[in-house]
Amino acid sequence: MIRSAFASTAITVGFCLFVLLVVLVPVALLYPEPGEVLSRFLLGPFEKTRYMGNIVELATPSMLTALAVVLMFRCGAFNLGVEGSFFLGGLTTAAMVLWMPLPPLVGIPLALLAGAIVGSLVCGIPGIVKATTGASELVSSLMLNYAAVFIGLFVLNYYLRDPTAAMLSSDRFPAEYRFESLIPRTRIHIGSIVAVVACIIGAIYLNRTSQGLEVRISGTGNDFSRHLGLNSVALNIRIQVIGGMIAAFAGGIEMLGLYSRFTWQNTTGNGWTGVIVAIIARDNPILIIPAALFIGYLQVGGDLVSRAFGVPTEIVSLIQALVMICVTSVAIFQHPALRKFVQGNRGEAAQ
Amino acid sequence: MMDLAASLLSPEFFAAILRVSTPIILVAMGVLISERAGVVNIGAEGMMLSGAFCGVVFSAYTGSATVGLIAAIVAGMVGGLFMSFAVHVLRANLFLSGIALNLAASAGTILALFSLTGEKGISGTLDSEVLPSVHIPWVQDLPVLGTILSGHHILTYVAFLSVPAVAIFMMRTPTGLRMRAVGENPEAAKATGLSVIRLQLQAFLLCGVFAGAGGAFLSMGYVSWFSQNMTAGRGFIALAAEVMGAGGAYGTLAASLLLGSVDVLAIALAGEGLPSELLQAAPYVVTVLALALYGLRQAKQKTIGTVH
């Protein structure tokens, strides 16, 4: 089992690099200095402390959204509401910070909690609807993502808008509410530590607690869990609400960590990135941490070549899409020759 | 308020419903075929977006709207090939493959637009064609019906005609029957000698034809340009319409029209000074409500079924 997990991880890493080069090399060849483009993308992110800081900043929200996705997927709920939860969580946290004149020590946790509760609706409602009516959580969570954005924009436009700002944005947050940078010359904030700790707690919860076991059992199929007498329905709702809360909490952290006012006009893409990270991590909470850093690294690399050579940043999305297909491919992961190659002779002994 | 009531009863209002529902109907027909064949296509959104993009680009470079439409349909079918490759050859997860297709289509169309025009947002510099509108002789001269039924985009008529066509195809032809058999129980279908993969590939390709045409309607009729992510979740709404229609072509048509009407109603109400953001959210909220109501009815029928 350990060897098999090792092989899966090794193949995943291999394919991530393979896909990266398959997309990057042809794109680089379109430019006069292909070598420069490649090295800027691949090595550039490590050149400066600031760039490495960017990787961590970008990985922070996706670690949390990926954790939310992993919990829901492992429970068997195909819920894609994290994108909307993240947006509403950020908005509610921003609104609380602007409306509540409390000292930061009380105000910040309260604002994040409020964000988590309101944002959890986007994942929670599809879960409840599924449990009570049987309607697919997949379709309703996709729909609610759009609804969340428009409702959020309504609140922003009618209640939070700073009339003096040139663009549609909220008033400025009071300075004492914003997270301080932990490492000089980066914007890494306390949220990164929270995210890593959350992933570790998530791993312990899933693998070392009885409820985590119930989540995993109910995720493998309802028959077995029903025979065990588990209340899968209640568990499913609870996990989707928790997932929504984690994603929304991530939105709040992102808001206070990196922004001085609420400026989102649309969903941020952090939820989708979370889905990709969750898949690369193969639904394992601990592996979310390296997977999120890898995606952050791609985003920083894409950003660097975009600024230096004008290469559109969308190539990163293209890489992510292909990685997603490869990593979920059963044909690749159960290919006997490939597994044998990775595991060597020990793999045969294990079988 | 009287104005509003008058405008809601005007022939133009009903004509707008037909127009707004067209892309939903088209894509929902495609989703229906794929769903009945057992491969729910989340990637319809991406297929639609590729169709919208290729329609604009190919019609701009050839000067022919027909070539644009064909290119849009081919683009949708390429999306179908991608889905089939991912699901059947790589055996990747169906839903995740669809998400990947959407992601790739969103990024890919922006990349291609950028490399062709140097812009990322909108294809304003491309001089693309639109597909014609059709005025039906006799009908167009009728007092109220003329405004409602005549003068629409050609794909609006195609969409409505495709509904009985899909119904007949799925329910009355051998291929449709086989597709449903595969969707109902792939193991049993395989045991009778049907090729599950071939039938599902055909379903994906047909879904691509409809989704590509739906995209062409958006960029070559509804508006005359391509802008990034212009499908705005219509592929997902089509998915919901198909679920509400319980996999039947006519039910799906009714659900598509309902969702389209909510959209048009929201536009009409925004003109009355109601907050447009909330009205824009309405179609999505209504979709969830409708799914829930439909689910409740299904569940009730199922319990009645088990009692007997």
Could you tell me the residue ranges of all domains in chain A? 54-292
Q: What is the pLDDT of residue A349?
A: 39
- List chain A residues with pLDDT less than 70: 1-4, 222, 343-351
Residue of A nearest to B114 (CA): A312
Give whole-number Cα distances, B279 to A153, B158, B232, B239, B267, in Å.
Answer: 11, 29, 15, 21, 7
Residue A41 confidence (pLDDT): 92
If you count residue pairs, one on A and one on B, with CB atoms under 8 Å apart, how many are there? Answer: 144
Q: Is the CB of residue B106 less than 8 Å away from at least one CB of chain A?
A: yes
Alpha-carbon distance of A24 to A323, in angstroms, equals: 13
B247, burial (CB in 10 Å: exposed 0-12, middle 13-18, buried 19+): middle
Q: Where are the beta strands (DSSP E) in chain A?
A: none
Mutate to test the interface with B, among A82, A132, A139 (most CBs of B within 10 A): A139
Residue among A146, A316, A325 whose CB faces B284 most closely: A146
**Range B79-86 average pLDDT:** 95
- Contact yes or no for A144 and B296 at CB 8 A: no
User: Tokens for A35?
Assistant: 């070598």
Of B91, B99, B299, the CB nearest to A329: B91
A contacts of B42 (beta carbons < 8 Å): 138
Q: What are the chain B neighbours of A136 within 8 Å (beta carbons)?
A: 243, 291
pLDDT at B130: 84
Spell out the domains of chain B, with CATH numbers in brackets. 2-307 (1.10.3470)
Closest by Cα among A192, A194, A80, A169 to A126: A80
Q: Choose among A285, A273, A287, A286: nearest CA to A321.
A: A273
pLDDT for B303 equals 62
**Residue B182, pLDDT score:** 93
Q: What is the pLDDT of residues B159-196, one digit of tens each?
A: 999 999 999 999 999 999 999 999 998 899 999 988 99
CA distance B160 to chain A (A): 24
Structure tokens given for A326: 């490869």
| CA-based nearest residue to A308, from A48, A55, A56, A31 | A31
User: Which range has the top average pLDDT, A17-21, B9-13, B206-210, B240-244?
Assistant: B206-210
Note the pLDDT of residue B270: 76
Q: Average pLDDT, stretch B36-48?
A: 94
Nearest residue of A to residue B287 by CA position?
A143
3-state secondary structure of B133: strand
- Closest residue, chain B, to A148 (C-alpha): B281
Long-range contact pairs involving B189-196 (C-beta distance under 8 Å, separation at least 24): none
Of chain B residues 245-274, which have a CB less than 8 A from chain A?
none
Contact present, A257 and A249 (Cβ < 8 Å): no
Distance from CA of A38 to the nearest CA of B (A): 18
Model confidence at B308: pLDDT above 60: no
**Chain A residues with beta carbon closer than 8 angstroms to that of B299:** 133-134
Which residue does chain B place closest to A314, by CA atoms?
A: B107
- Cα angle A221, A222, A226 (rounded to 5 degrees) comes to 140
| A133 closest CB neighbour out of B240, B287, B292 | B292
Say how many CA atoms lie within 13 Å of B94 toward its Cβ: 14
Kindly list the residues from chain B whose CB atom is less than 8 angstroms away from the CB atom of residue A279.
96
Residue B233 clears pLDDT 50, i.e. is over it: yes
Q: What confidence tier does B306 reach under pLDDT thresholds 50, 70, 90?
A: very low
The predicted pLDDT at position B307 comes to 42
Interface predicted TM-score (ipTM) of this complex, two decimals:
0.86
Find the DSSP H helices in chain B. 2-9, 11-36, 44-62, 65-84, 94-117, 145-149, 154-172, 174-184, 186-191, 196-217, 234-244, 249-270, 276-307
Specify whether the CB–CB gap between A136 and A80 falls below 8 A.
Answer: no
Query: pLDDT, tens digit, for every residue of A131-142?
Result: 888 888 988 999
pLDDT over 70 for what percent of chain B? 96
